[in-house]
Structure 1
Amino acid sequence: MRRCSNCDALLPDQSVFCGNCGLKQEPLNEKICSKCSKPMPIENNFCPHCGISTTINSEMAEDTSTKNPPTTESPSSPQINLKTTNSNNAIPLSTYDLDPYILSEIDNFKFSFTQKYAEFNGRASRGEYCRYILIETLLLVLVIAIGLLITYISKKPEYVFYGIVLFNVVCFLPTLAISTRRAHDLNNPGWTSIILFIPYINTLYSLYLLLKKGDTTPNSYGYPTSFEIITPQISEEKDIQLSPDSGSATKFILTIIVLIGIIVAAFVSMDSNKFPSNTTKSKPSKSATTVNTSKTVSLSESNPQSTSTPQPAVQPENNYIEQSTNALRSYYDRLNQKNFNGAYALLSEQQQASVGYYNTWRNGYNTTLNVTLTSTKVLSANPNQVIYEYQLHAKDSINGRVKHQFFTGNVTMERVNSTWYIKDQDGRLVSSYFE
């Protein structure tokens, strides 16, 4: 709003003639804030310096206070004028210098994560909220990617879980705070943010916060935020980046999609690299089940379908070979006895990570009737590790028929604190037939 230079009447900023006296008005390129008296672009509805609204309501309030200056009242008179003045300023102004500006994605996230880490008062515009969620999603995908890399190196899948939990703990408070301010921007009470903790409904509520346009005028929770474009002068003065262009969000979304693709490829690669390329796909959990062990042993049992290799005699000084062999036999004995917990305990942590979680590994034996270690041959041995070449005979119930399968491969036994475990194992299908 502006005033006529002749009669001081209140006029719209774009008026050409005064509606009161008819005087032609000079065009304006900027206007003066009625609160802080600083210049601003003529098209702004809010002052970028103090955040006050420059709509007709604020101008009318100023006009009323100018033409009706407060008078001195006696101590016994009621404070009517004071209450009226306070009601005009009942809506709080912005308390942060950067509230009026449309910040870049990085500056927006830093501003919300530092200065507004636990700020539940005020408002957050749709753009401010969307840019925060965009960067938060990108960081979460990076955490998952790093967790997968550590898992691939250490063979311990729990690092992905730990990373996600730690990320959620760190981001919980600022995310809840900006969600509350976003609800305020829609003139909704902040407690509605608890909907984010209700499964299924939280998805719809999140879309509501992301897509619903907020109030363009002051509401019960304050003035709008993120409405002023950052000029080069403001960028240099405030040490912030220019406002984001239309393609910046697209770049971040494409980055997230690429990272998700890398994560999916990593999952597929980790799953396919569990066994050698010549390993059978039909019996991965039986033929390729590995247990951490460090020694190797020779052992033979009769089997008409496989050729037994003569085993070297175990010398008294090679008791560790006998111990590792007994541990390997015990593993298959427990499988035949359906003692899956006991068998899984004979796998090293590395091998457990390789074959998958317990339930996944156990489901691989749902159709198994019997598994027999028919022969073993020591390839190398020392007191802490023994490597065998083995042959295996498995019987499975397939559609009411018994299927015989014969596997061969290498298994490494490793001793940890006087206990032998299967450290690594590979296998390939040699032959099979139905009864």
Structure 2
Amino acid sequence: MTNPYSATTVDLSEPLAGDDETYEPKIFAVNGRIGRLRYLAYSFGVMILLMLALGVLVGLAALVLGKGAAVAMGFLIYIPMIAVTFIMAKRRLNDLDQSGWLSLLSLVPLVNAIFGLYLIFAPGTKGSNSYGPPPVQNSTSVIMLSLIFPLVFVFGVLAAIAIPAYQQYTVRAKAKAALQAPTPAAETSEQGGKSDD
């Protein structure tokens, strides 16, 4: 006779043979796993939308209510931006099989830079983890949007270096040209001297 209350002898530490389950992450979801490219794409996309909303609302507030209200409205818009930052970091940490509470590391100066690099470059866990199944493969739009973020960063840094350098060059070139150009008084005296010969 077998005991119905005895422990099973099946090894449950390995995933089942048909455990290839994935899910389609939603951009505005609070839970679920997102990979590296989705982290960049979703964070950048949502921040762009919030910045556009910030520009419109602050502009309207300044026009209708005055400058003080526009500043207050700007601070109010930063609250959703901070929330989005923590939500995206939590979802990325869940892909790394880490607790979302680690997203609070983004508040610590200097540590937040290393933490951000960790979120961008660390590969997620393969297969299901304690936070659910892995996301489906990245679509073309996710890949394109995730590439825009680094390109904007690189071009922004280059522009911040190149534009002031070019402005200084043009100022120096104009100053040098002004020093080398003959003055009108010198030209008339030269012409007067030539006519006497």
What range describes the TM-score normalised by the shorter chain of this pair? 0.5 to 0.7
User: Which residue of 2 is the match for residue 161 of structure 1?
Assistant: 71
Equivalent position of 1:78 in the other structure = 6
2:164 corresponds in structure 1 to none
- 1:76 Cα shift? 4.9
User: 1:143–1:163: 8 Å Cα contact kept in structure 2?
Assistant: no
Residue in structure 2 matched with residue 189 of structure 1 by the alignment = 99
Corresponding residue of 1:244? 141
- The residue identity in structure 1 corresponding to 2:27 is S
5 Å-filtered alignment, 1:283-322, equals none
Pick closer, same or farther for the CA change 1:202–1:251 going to 2, 3 Å. closer
Given the alignment of the two structures, is residue 177 of structure 1 paired with residue 87 of structure 2, yes or no? yes
Distance, in Å, in 1 between the alignment partners of 2:70 and 2:118 is 30
With over 3 angstroms needed to count, the CA separation of the structure-2 counterparts of 1:228 and 1:139, relative to structure 1, is closer
Identical columns (%): 21
Question: Which runs of no fewer than 5 residues in structure 2 stay unpaired?
Answer: 157-197
Tell whether the 8 Å contact from 2:94 to 2:131 is kept in structure 1 after alignment: yes
CA 1:224 to 1:211, structure 2 compared with 1: closer, same or farther past 3 Å?
same
Q: State how many pairs are aligned.
A: 152
The separation in 2 between residues aligned to 1:173 and 1:246, in whole angstroms, is: 24
Mapped to 1, the partners of 2:147 and 2:69 lie a distance apart of 30
1:98 corresponds to: 24
Deviations 1:248-295 (A, max 9, x none): 4556776xx99xxxxxxxxxxxxxxxxxxxxxxxxxxxxxxxxxxxxx
Question: Once superposed, what is the RMSD of the aligned Cα atoms?
Answer: 3.9
Structure number with the bigger relative contact order (C-alpha 8 A, sep ≥ 6) is 2
Counterpart of 2:27 in structure 1 is 112
Q: What is the aligned counterpart of 2:60 among 146, 150, 157?
A: 150
Structure 2 contact 86–103 (Cα < 8 Å) conserved: yes
- 1:326 aligns with none
2:54 equivalent to 1:128 = no
Identify the match of residue 206 of structure 1 among 92, 116, 127. 116
Aligned CA distance change for structure 1 residues 222 and 249 (closer, same or farther; 3 Å): closer
Instruction: Give the 3 Å change call, closer, same or farther, for CA 133–221 of structure 1 in structure 2.
Output: same
Shift of 1:126: 0.8
Please report how far the alpha carbon of residue 195 of structure 1 lies from its aligned counterpart in structure 2 after TM superposition.
0.7
Contact 1:127–1:226 at 8 Å: present in 2 too?
Answer: no
Partner Cα distance (2:68, 2:120) in 1: 32
TM-score (norm 1): 0.29
Choose 1 or 2 for highest CA Rg: 1
